Amino acid sequence: MKRFEDKVAIVTGAAGGIGSATAHRLAAEGAAVAIVDLDADAAANVAAAIATRGGRAIAVAGDVADESSVEAVFAGTVEAFGGVDVLHNNAAALSAEVVGRDTEVLAIDRELFDATMSVNLLGAIYMCKHAIPRMIERGGGAIVNTSSISAFSAAHGFPVYSASKAGVSSLTQSVATQYGKQGVRCNAVAPGLTLSPRMRANFDPKQLEGLAAEVLTTRLGEPKDIAGLVAFLASDDAAYVTAQVIAADGGVTAYYA
């Protein structure tokens, strides 16, 4: 299945987890992919792995919270591949020093707020800002943002992260509303617990067993599950789908929300 033949995609936060899985999925379906991440070496490894499988990819070191860096990401992508058709905004501030401090409202300070919002929300805004004109030039395109079930359920805590992802969900609807008539669709995926390599390292088998008991499916989610949904939303199979935030959470929000 080559739904992205002759298409160019940019994936942020693409050096691991959901971003890496999405980059691989889009490349396998024919897209030329720009692998964007702060970790230049890890991004290069993902691009090399895609090339080994016969795909086309470049690694671009980029900080989505810095607009000049975002401009350089688009310049490099256009120089390499000619344009932009698909954007997956997946970058997030998930370092231990940020997430570890995001515990309760009474503990929030400006430094924590800025560290989270500058990447999770402002970064998505910058990426959309520079993607949309290029997509319109090519007759349209598709943006898929990574929100979270934390955006509409407080059961998992992390108040600043949750607020940032609620902002991403709202941004998704704003972009779809303002640019839909110019051919730009915008949707978001809202993952639940997803077993990225980083996430697996944080839980022992007993804990994973307990977490698996909470979902309504036979297993916990994996990055490839989210990548499949992103690929659908970015493809012409979803041509009539826009302004939606779709949960991929094993059904937990059926009783958490």
In a domain, 77, yes or no: yes
Distances in Å between the Cα of 181 and the Cα atoms of 26, 61, 178, 241 are 25, 33, 8, 13
Q: 257 pLDDT exceeds 80?
A: no
Mean pLDDT, residues 175-201: 93
pLDDT in tens, 194-214: 998 877 877 888 888 898 998
Q: 146 pLDDT exceeds 70?
A: yes
Residue 164's pLDDT is what? 97
In a domain, 254, yes or no: no
In a domain, 167, yes or no: yes
In a domain, 230, yes or no: yes
pLDDT in tens, 38-95: 999 999 999 999 999 999 999 999 999 999 999 999 999 999 999 999 999 999 998 9
Residue 109's pLDDT is what? 96
Q: 154 pLDDT exceeds 80?
A: no
pLDDT in tens, 14-38: 999 999 999 999 999 999 999 999 9
In a domain, 3, yes or no: no
In this structure, the number of other CB atoms found within 10 A of the CB of residue 182 comes to 13
Full domain range(s) for residue 56:
8-249
Cβ pair 88, 122 in contact under 8 A:
no
Mean pLDDT, all residues of the chain:
95
pLDDT in tens, 161-178: 999 999 999 999 999 999
In a domain, 141, yes or no: yes
Residue 40's pLDDT is what? 97
Mean pLDDT, residues 93-111: 92
Confidence label for 124 from pLDDT (cuts 50, 70 and 90): very high
**pTM attached to this predicted model:** 0.96
Residue 113's pLDDT is what? 97
Residue 201's pLDDT is what? 79
Residue 46's pLDDT is what? 98
Handedness of CA 187, 91, 49, 77 (dihedral sign): positive
Q: 156 pLDDT exceeds 80?
A: no
Residue 181's pLDDT is what? 98
In a domain, 2, yes or no: no
In a domain, 1, yes or no: no
Total domains, the chain: 1
Measured at the alpha carbon of residue 235, what is the angle toward residues 233 and 239, in degrees to the nearest 5?
A: 80
Residue 223's pLDDT is what? 97
CATH of the domain at 93: 3.40.50.720
Residue 256's pLDDT is what? 64
Q: Enumerate the active-site residues.
A: 161
pLDDT in tens, 215-233: 999 999 999 999 999 999 9
